[in-house]
């Protein structure tokens, strides 16, 4: 059997499960809220063109309104000032859109501390148990935050001191950018940086270093709890928006059961 025939047979009841890591896209999908004076991304919405009516008697269709960074989405390098000359989302090699993923689970610690920051020592401990991070693959950080994704308020978890969501320390962000063989970092929160990362030095270190190194971000992932620590293969399919800084993305994981 060829490799692709084996894959098809695995998908048809032969032990390969397809796990959807994508948040449903609707006007209820939580979005990032930046403080004044910064501009925000659009909420997703549908604008009806026709629905089997005078405007189109046999057909239903919509225009969509969305930000590039609305819902489950991919951050391209050019999104950040540290990669101004970097790839836009249409330029990402298709070979990088199908890649292995490692999953690091910190959900118990995040439950105890929503401001949890991943450290280099956490990455080293994971590697000691599971082996090196995948060459040309993703690191997905499982925080359990997807359980909050049906509520904008719970998802952003903000109070008078700002948003409180987990992320990556400055040192770990630099390590993931410069030392790790990965192509990017995936998270369940609204962005790859912590809620309080605006006050870090540098601000938003995951964006600064990881995108600055020509790597990618994937955000608002769901169902990471269904993935093994190693062995999943991820298909991340952003729209090839020419000149785009990112795109809503369908993210699927193939998992052997
Ligand atoms: Mn983004």
pLDDT in tens, 224-234: 999 999 999 99
Give the pLDDT band of residue 9 (cuts 50, 70, 90).
very high
For residue 41, how far is its CA from the centre of ligand 1 (angstroms)?
A: 10
Helix axes 170-178, 120-130, angle to 10 degrees: 50
Sign, CA dihedral 126-187-173-157, equals negative
What is the C-alpha R_g of the chain? 19
- On the question of a cis peptide bond just before residue 37, with omega within 30 degrees of 0, the verdict is yes
In the chain, % of residues over pLDDT 90: 98
Instruction: Write the pLDDT tens digit of every residue in 116-161.
Output: 999 999 999 999 999 999 999 999 999 999 999 999 999 999 999 9
For residue 115, how far is its CA from the centre of ligand 1 (angstroms)?
A: 19
Q: How far is CA 151 from CA 28, 31, 155, 179, 230, in A?
A: 8, 10, 6, 36, 30
For residue 74, how far is its CA from the centre of ligand 1 (angstroms)?
A: 6
The average pLDDT across 159-170 equals 96
Instruction: Write the pLDDT tens digit of every residue in 205-228.
Output: 999 999 999 999 999 999 999 999
| Residue of 139, 142, 203, 201 lying closest to 176 (CA atoms) | 139
80: alpha, beta or left? (left if phi > 0; alpha if psi -120 to 50): beta
- According to CATH, the topology of domain 13-256 is Glucose Oxidase; domain 1 (3.50.30)
Q: How far apart are CA 94 and CA 236, in angstroms?
A: 9
- Ligand 1 being an ion, which residues bring their Cβ within 5 A of it? 69, 75
Catalytically annotated residues: 79
Torsion of CA 178, 179, 180, 185, to 10 degrees: -30
Tokens of 204: 């938003």
The average pLDDT across 34-63 equals 96
Q: How far is CA 89 from CA 79, 113, 182, 207, 223, in A?
A: 9, 33, 18, 15, 24
What's the pLDDT at 36?
86
């Amino acid at each position: 059997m060829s490799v692709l025939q084996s894959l098809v047979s695995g998908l048809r009841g032969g032990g390969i499960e397809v796990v959807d890591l994508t948040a449903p896209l609707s006007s209820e999908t939580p979005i990032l809220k930046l403080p004044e004076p910064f501009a925000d991304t659009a909420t997703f919405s549908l604008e009806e063109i026709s629905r089997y009516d005078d405007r189109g008697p046999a057909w239903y269709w919509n225009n969509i309104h969305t930000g590039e960074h609305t819902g489950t989405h991919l951050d391209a390098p050019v999104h950040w000032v540290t990669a101004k000359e970097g790839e836009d989302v249409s330029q990402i090699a298709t070979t990088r859109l199908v890649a292995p993923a490692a999953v690091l689970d910190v959900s118990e610690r995040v439950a105890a501390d929503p401001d949890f920051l991943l450290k280099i020592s956490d990455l080293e401990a994971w590697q000691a148990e599971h082996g090196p991070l995948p060459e040309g693959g993703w690191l997905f950080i499982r925080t359990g935050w997807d359980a909050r994704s049906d509520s904008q308020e719970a998802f952003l978890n903000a109070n008078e001191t700002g948003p409180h969501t987990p992320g990556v320390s400055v040192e770990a962000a630099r390590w993931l950018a410069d030392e790790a063989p990965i192509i990017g970092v995936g998270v369940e929160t609204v962005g790859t940086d912590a809620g309080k990362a605006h006050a870090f030095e540098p601000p938003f270190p995951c964006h600064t270093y990881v995108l600055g190194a020509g790597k990618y971000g994937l955000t608002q992932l769901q169902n990471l709890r269904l993935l093994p620590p190693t062995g999943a293969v991820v298909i991340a399919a952003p729209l090839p928006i020419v000149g785009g800084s990112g795109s809503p993305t369908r993210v699927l994981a193939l998992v052997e059961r």
